[in-house]
Amino acid sequence: MKLHSTTKKSGLFITGTDTGVGKTLIAGGIAAVLRRQGHKVGVFKPIASGCRHDREGLVSADSEFLALCADADYPLSVITPVAYKTPAAPVTCAKREERPVDFEAIAAAYRYLCETCDVVLVEGIGGAMVPIDPQRTILDLAVEFDLPVVIVARPTLGTINHTLLTIQAVRNAGLPVAGVVISGYNAARADIAEETAPDVICEYGDTNLLAVVPFDEDSSVENGRLGPMTAEALCVCDWAALSQL
């Protein structure tokens, strides 16, 4: 892809320490916050797996949620130009479905969003080191977008190691770490490890804690719901300023 020739756009790349940590929920929440502040938000999930067939072809529930949160006026095929039915890493999907990742389609969709939106939020798939093909990972794709990286992490035991490794990988790739979001924190059930992990991550990762998003039964990516607790927790951060780092 040749994305560096695109005019530098305000935006953020949202990755996670693992799959299922809440990247899509957080990306959608950030989009909703920015939209309510008057920004036209471009949401972009370049590659999605585990998609379903419908009248538009292969559709990702994640893409639908992002579109809803951003009040997007462009098709899902722009939000996710590369979609696979197989619920696996892109490199596996491409092999099983005999269809390599179309990087030109990704580049074209991203340029369109840069031209038509104020700020672009790009969500990865899985963690930063997930392979796209034999030569590239999600982190290599993030380098092409050249955006500050928001790292979404679990609150549970083990998150310190996972998060510090992700921070290190992102910085080694030459990208700025905007900060960390803890997703799904349950204060009523938190133990000492969960209570102290955010401070340890910030100290040893030399980064900022952007938000602690509580476990919110009213939020559901699959059902297209962004709960008020999630939205409120994300309002504490100036996402517009971070997107211009």
Active site residues: 45
Query: How many of the other CB atoms lie within 10 Å of CB of 71?
Result: 13
User: 100, 135 in Cβ contact below 8 A?
Assistant: no
Handedness of CA 72, 43, 23, 239 (dihedral sign): negative
Name the token pair of 62: 């994640």
Name the token pair of 78: 């722009």
Q: Can you name the residues that pair with 102 across neighbouring β-strands?
A: none
Name the token pair of 216: 């919110």
Three-state SS for 137? strand
Contacts of 101 (CB under 8 A, 6+ apart): 47, 82, 90, 94, 132, 133
User: 29, 230 in Cβ contact below 8 A?
Assistant: yes
